[in-house]
Amino acid sequence: MSLGLATLEALLGRLAGLRVVTIGDVMVDRFVYGDVHRVSPEAPIPILARTHQTVMLGGCGNVARNVAALGGRAVLIGVIGRDAPGEEARALVAREPDIEDGLVLDSRRPTSLKMRFVSAGQQLLRVDDEVAAPVAGDVETALVAAVARAAVGAGAILLSDYGKGVVTAGVISACLAAARATGAVLVVDSKARGFAHYGPVDVVKPNAAELARATDLPTDTDAQIEMALARALASCEAGAILVTRAARGMSLAVRGEPVRHCVRPPPEVFDTSGAGDTALAALGIALAAGAPIDQAVGLALIASGVVVEKAGTATAGPEEVIEAEAALERTPLDAKIASASRMARVARRWREKGLRVGFTNGCFDILHPGHIAYLTQARAWCDRLIVGLNTDDSIRRLKGDGRPVNGLEARARVLAGLAAVDLVTPFAEDTPLALIEAARPDLLVKGADYALDAVVGHDLVTGWGGEVRLASFLEGHSTTATLRRLAGQD
């Protein structure tokens, strides 16, 4: 499913500043990263040598983060405890200029906390600290009042029901009343065993497993999905149900219309944490902007595909969404030629996956066996290799008139066709220093005719813990020698 760049850019332009209410189960997601080198002598379990950790808003908090990342202004309503994770949640909200704090304090329950322990890109263990009992009394009353206040001027209300106790009957009624009063679209992300208790909401968004649980039907094939959606619509008042299906895309059932199956080429999945939150945020804010539901589903599909390529509970911004859509129109060769900004994002994703990123640069005017040997050696030292490529003007400044022989586009495409090269990024400056700063490679490679301390960027790379290596040359091969032979001078 492709929206097309023009349609997507127009839609994203309408999202800026839209007010969206996000209410539901707020969590703190903590990711503890480390290395595993041995098994415990006490039990057959790996020992994680902790290196660092990240903390971010999860659950409904991640929905709010994704609304803000897409250009909207989110109001986050949920419950936190009087504890350290609750203080972390408030601090995380305070750092987000486009998220308004509507959190309600409940001193009788802990803040929902999920701790994930990760090594080499794989989760080893998740530990949850939470209470799932329904909120009641003054806490529920405070939530209801917060919904009524926050909905004024909102284009959408997004109800994120993880089943942790915040989405009570009273809260649902408050959301329905607020949607009727303001005209806001009401979308529910539900993990419940049925959807009837939500009432006449606009859209319910389960995943395939949740739809199966709610209908007691299998949801593996398109035909099974269609039967389950029909049963789900018959048993509830929702105007539509959108089921997310991981690599199979999404399927949309609008009441009274045939089911539409929406599929894109599957992304390279690294971490699915929070992808459903992203889909809810994108769907909701697009509907708030007045987009037809097919366009809103398209945005949700693109945005969720962006975040599964990232580590942790992530967000998708407009530039990343446009890039993902543009990638559908690129050939595999063109996809390896990147701007500096896209290179920086791709390199960051590679590092987050635990991949060793290498960087080298050059003119690569007339590709010869020496170049192939050099690049192959550089790629053997890393998991991904970025090549900074001098533009035509920068080559003329370096080499003089008559160079380059081949223009930038031709040189970039030839390099992109090599198996040893993962990304090609042109640069117009005399040195690649800005690209090195943007890429933050773990490995910087130059030819053996350099001294290590003369390699541009060596101090930067070693400063952040990287390595500089010199690759050997293949004797008898150079661009200058090739040009001499062509001119009959050798």
Strand locations in 182-334 (E): 185-190, 203-204, 240-244, 250-254, 260-262
Q: What is the DSSP string of 274-290?
A: THHHHHHHHHHHHHHTT
Q: Catalytic site residue 277? A: yes
Give the long-range contacts of residues 138-142, CB within 8 A, separation 24 or more. Answer: 139/79, 139/104, 139/106, 140/168, 140/170, 140/171, 142/104
Distance CA 342, CA 338 (A): 6
Distance CA 24, CA 320 (A): 27
Give the amino acid at 160.
S
Distance CA 12, CA 220 (A): 32
Set 277, 365, 422, 442: catalytic member? 277
How many other C-beta atoms lie within 10 A of the C-beta of residue 360? 26
Q: Measured at the alpha carbon of residue 470, what is the angle toward residues 467 and 472, in degrees to the nearest 5?
A: 150
Q: Between 275-288 and 5-15, two packed helices, what is the crossing angle to 10 degrees?
A: 80
Strand partners, 251: 243, 261
Burial of 236 (0-12, 13-18, 19+ CB in 10 A): buried
Distance CA 375, CA 445 (A): 9
Give the amino acid at 158.
L
- Strands 250-254 and 240-244, by their bridges, are antiparallel
Closest residue by Cα to residue 417 from 372, 383, 472, 384: 372
**Cβ-proximal residues to 440 (8 Å cutoff; 6+ apart), any chain:** 347, 348, 351, 357, 464, 466
Please name the residue that has the structure tokens 């001078």: 489
Q: How far is CA 20 from CA 56, 184, 461, in A?
A: 20, 9, 42
Strand partners, 161: 190
Token pair listed for 325? 């859509």
Please give the positions annotated as active site.
Answer: 277
